[in-house]
Structure 1
């Protein structure tokens, strides 16, 4: 069952970008860190929207993590941690399920003192097992544990959020 169409996703991205700017309007730079594949695509879409709305420097980097077993491999970020010092960093993913991926994705940020760490997702589910708070949410869904959320965004052209 389709939850969001491409047009609705685009609207969510615009709204999230505005919310990010409302909370960070005094900043000189905001760094978005997309998690793996879909999180990175979503982060890039947010960056594009933010750059249309503000003169603030918006930077993009990627966090690499094994979501199935976050401790099995090193969790890496595509920017030198020193460049994050005193900066606002927003960790971005497509879906927040239990919060595990978002929780462990912040690990590379612990080697420096960021000004603020926030989180943004397109879809938030209410099955948190980890202490994460997502500040910027496109849509919040109450689902059963057996239901899956499938997010399709990016180059393919057929965007959508589906409940399987």
Structure 2
């Protein structure tokens, strides 16, 4: 950890937040007939999706599939999925590390809306309380009031979230 940064989460706290969100998700998803699709937004959202996938299997034996969503977060346009699949009647959980304006999450929903999913939910580790787009996460690790000028970054090493800080 860089001591000059203003950390809002350390590795242990981030792990606890993810575990708590996995329990909340398990309560909501118990009884699903088809595997739940965890759609992680590259790069940190994919790491979170993998962590949540393992926890959901351990907590409630919920079957999950992971797909990766690729898009330019600064200028979203073309959205790429790691693989094509049938989303009809499926439960999709969109996973990202930080909800800033909500723009990335809205664009990431596009390929799923072309099918007819049963339900779409959003999970985010850090949610900023002011958004320009009407997006509200269903599962949130921590919600923080920030100014428009402040930015939140989530640090990842391998398959572990090591912290989150604000600049």
Please say if residues 94 and 121 of structure 1, whose CA atoms lie closer than 8 Å, have aligned partners that are also in contact.
yes
The alpha-carbon distance between structure 1 residues 75 and 138, as it changes in their structure 2 partners (threshold 3 A), is: same
CA displacement, residues 50-83 of structure 1 (integer Å, 9 cap, x when unaligned) = 1211222111111111111112xx212223241x
Distance in 1 between residues matched to 2:137 and 2:157, nearest whole Å = 22
How far is 1:158 from its partner? 7.3
Distance in 2 between residues matched to 1:2 and 1:57, nearest whole Å = 34
Partner of 1:53: 59
Please say if residues 98 and 128 of structure 2, whose CA atoms lie closer than 8 Å, have aligned partners that are also in contact.
yes
- Superposed CA RMSD in Å reads 1.4
Please say if residues 81 and 109 of structure 1, whose CA atoms lie closer than 8 Å, have aligned partners that are also in contact.
no
Q: 2:79 aligns with which of 72, 75, 90?
A: 75
The alpha-carbon distance between structure 1 residues 142 and 23, as it changes in their structure 2 partners (threshold 3 A), is: same
The alignment status of 1:95 with 2:101, answered yes or no, reads: no
How far is 1:36 from its partner? 1.2
How far is 1:104 from its partner? 0.4
Partner of 2:107: 104
Please say if residues 81 and 111 of structure 1, whose CA atoms lie closer than 8 Å, have aligned partners that are also in contact.
no
Please say if residues 15 and 161 of structure 2, whose CA atoms lie closer than 8 Å, have aligned partners that are also in contact.
no
Distance in 1 between residues matched to 2:119 and 2:16, nearest whole Å = 26
Please say if residues 154 and 161 of structure 2, whose CA atoms lie closer than 8 Å, have aligned partners that are also in contact.
no
Q: 2:129 aligns with which of 101, 126, 130?
A: 126
Distance in 1 between residues matched to 2:97 and 2:160, nearest whole Å = 17
Please say if residues 35 and 93 of structure 1, whose CA atoms lie closer than 8 Å, have aligned partners that are also in contact.
yes
TM-score by length of 2: 0.91
The alpha-carbon distance between structure 1 residues 88 and 149, as it changes in their structure 2 partners (threshold 3 A), is: same
Gaps spanning 5+ residues in structure 1: where?
none
SS in 2 for 1:3: strand
TM-score by length of 1: 0.93
- After alignment, is 93-102 or 142-151 more displaced? 142-151
